[in-house]
Homo-oligomer: A and B are copies of this chain.
Amino acid sequence: MSKAKLLFDLIMYVNTKRSFTAQDVADEFGVSIRTAHRYLADIDEMGVPLYTEPGRGGGYRVLNNRTLPPIVFDEHEAFAIFFAFQSLRNYPSLPFNININSVSRKLYASLPADSRHKADRLGSVLAFWHPAKTVPSPYLSLIIEAAAEQRVLQIEYVSKNENTRREVEPAGVYAYGGFWYMPALDRASGETRLFRTDRIAALEGTSETFVRQLRLDDWLQRLAASEPKDPVRLYAELNREGVRQCRSQPWLEPYLVMTGPEHGHVDVEIDRSELPFASDFFFRLGTSAKVIEPREAIEYIRREARERLRHYS
């Protein structure tokens, strides 16, 4: 085994240990103590933050920021990382103070000149945009930690009519459309609810733990493809602009039928609980669409329109 390989193995070894002596290393790698000391001096020089304590009960230990053994990437992989970082660049608030720059610098330094230009150009023509929210989400890190360790949270939440105080079991957090959301189990009602983290007015962690009943994956899965439990038929006729708008709606696009170059309709079964949302969508569409079914949606639209006329009379 080459020396380089041996040192990398040693790095792995010391990373798995809280504390160890030169004798431990000597035994593990079948070398003399003197050589063990030499090896440890080598990896220390390579940047592994070793801390030593002389005297009885002393030994070596690795400081918090553990160094990983060197990793070989190819150009495509380096681009994948740049690319992924690009997606975080414009995020208004991120959970941790993750240091993107140190990684970027290291990768960039290892790229040949022409690839650097390629990376520069990629960075200047590709972005992931998120509205620069002025309301930050200061509790993100706390929520993530609590969710990871399955600890109950006490929150004060700003909802439609009042501020409520709740005990919740967080499943995790996810970013969507510039906001951070926290699906969680409300302990009082026993129901799963979605909270927007910027609407959390106060948060306190407890030491109480819970058994995870709601997984973030499952929640997102359900978001992506939920099957209606109490189905309602929704039928609407669309003109050109209506077609265009419906195409932008993931929940409608699959059910869009074109009946001419400029006309179409949607015919879809949705869950009754989604009716307010759907009605509001078609209310916003105005004359670009005409809802034929269900009656409730039509009534909703009429009611909303009348209400506004009265409000601005």
The answer, yes or no, to whether A188 is at the interface (CB within 8 Å) is: no
Question: Which residues of chain B are near A263, meaning CB under 8 Å?
Answer: none
Cβ-defined contact, B47 with A72, below 8 A: yes
A73-B311 contact, Cβ under 8 Å, with A110-B68, A129-B175, A253-B135: no
The A contact surface, by secondary structure, is helix
Question: Which residues of chain B are near A76, meaning CB under 8 Å?
Answer: 65, 98-99
The answer, yes or no, to whether A31 is at the interface (CB within 8 Å) is: no
A286-B298 contact, Cβ under 8 Å, with A74-B67, A250-B131: no
Cβ-defined contact, A309 with B306, below 8 A: yes
Query: Of B69, B75, B129, which is within 8 A of A65 by CB?
Result: B75
For the complex, give the distance between the alpha carbons of A170 and B118 in Å: 17
Most buried by B among A76, A84, A307: A84
Cβ-defined contact, A248 with B179, below 8 A: yes
Cβ-defined contact, B68 with A84, below 8 A: no
The answer, yes or no, to whether A232 is at the interface (CB within 8 Å) is: no
The answer, yes or no, to whether A59 is at the interface (CB within 8 Å) is: no
Say which size band chain A's interface belongs to: 35 or more
Query: Of B75, B106, B118, B304, which is within 8 A of A73 by CB?
Result: B106
Query: Closest residue of chain B to A118, judged by CB?
Result: B148
Query: Of B15, B250, B308, which is within 8 A of A134 by CB?
Result: B250
Cβ-defined contact, A74 with B68, below 8 A: yes
Question: Which residues of chain B are near A305, meaning CB under 8 Å?
Answer: 304-306, 308-309, 312
The answer, yes or no, to whether A240 is at the interface (CB within 8 Å) is: yes
Q: List 29 A-B contacts (CB under 8 A).
A: A16-B112, A65-B74, A65-B76, A66-B74, A66-B75, A66-B115, A68-B75, A68-B107, A80-B98, A80-B99, A81-B103, A83-B96, A87-B88, A122-B148, A125-B170, A125-B172, A125-B173, A126-B172, A127-B172, A127-B220, A129-B174, A129-B175, A129-B176, A132-B224, A161-B240, A179-B248, A286-B308, A286-B311, A309-B309
Leading 6 A-B pairs by shortest Cβ distance: A125-B172, A70-B70, A84-B84, A125-B147, A127-B174, A305-B308
